[in-house]
């Protein structure tokens, strides 16, 4: 049995050589938050972190991931959706269909680690994921909110939440 360290836990799995990490996560480990979009590293829906680096898992054969490497998926980004980016995403109602958003958030989380205060150019270079619904401008705004300490009112969207709060 091969092993992968995912979200802080060691998982044993069986897969044929060449099976992409994406499909091991989805089909062997049952973690379906990471999505299949293209299979050729174009869209980024499958983005996970390997030792903190945003990686398109659809083109990474699982057996090439070192046993000591730490993989983080959307399920492990935060215990209860409490990562500053996830909070900003909720505050600004970023997702539309939502299918690309796991990968989008994982790419953004890696970006913020290397650039805590990203410029527009940094965001353009760091977020190359595809969103067909067209959430890019709210993605950009949410990254800035998270980078700026979490005050979602700065985005100026004026969204009223079910608990009565306004962002």
Residues that bind other proteins (CB under 8 A): 11, 15-16, 18-20, 23, 26-40, 42-43, 45, 73-75, 77, 81, 86, 89-90, 93-102, 105, 123-125, 127-140, 157-164
DSSP label at residue 20: B
CA angle 136, 147, 7 (to 5 degrees): 85
Closest contact distance (angstroms) between CB of 98 and other proteins is 3
Q: Which two tokens stand for residue 80?
A: 């209860």
Residue with smaller CB distance to other proteins, 71 or 74: 74
List phi, psi (to 5°) of 5: -95, 105
Contact 15, 51 (CB under 8 A): no
Closest contact distance (angstroms) between CB of 111 and other proteins is 11
Contact 5, 70 (CB under 8 A): yes
Max CA pair span of the chain: 52
Residue with smaller CB distance to other proteins, 35 or 49: 35
Closest contact distance (angstroms) between CB of 99 and other proteins is 3
Residue with smaller CB distance to other proteins, 116 or 164: 164
């Amino acid at each position: 049995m091969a092993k992968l360290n995912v979200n802080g836990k060691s998982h044993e799995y069986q897969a044929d050589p060449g099976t992409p990490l994406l499909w091991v996560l989805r089909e062997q480990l049952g973690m379906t938050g990471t999505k299949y979009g293209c299979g050729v590293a174009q869209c980024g829906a499958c983005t996970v972190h390997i030792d903190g680096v945003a990686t398109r898992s659809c083109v990474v054969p699982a057996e090439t991931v070192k046993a000591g490497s730490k993989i983080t998926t959307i399920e492990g980004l935060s215990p209860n959706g409490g990562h500053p980016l996830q909070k900003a995403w909720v505050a600004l109602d970023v997702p539309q269909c939502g299918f690309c958003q796991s990968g989008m958030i994982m790419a953004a989380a890696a970006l913020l680690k290397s650039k805590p205060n990203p410029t527009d150019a940094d965001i353009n270079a760091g977020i190359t994921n595809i969103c067909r619904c067209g959430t890019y401008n709210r993605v950009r705004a949410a990254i800035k909110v998270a980078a700026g300490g979490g005050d979602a009112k700065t985005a100026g969207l004026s969204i009223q939440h079910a608990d009565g709060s306004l962002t």
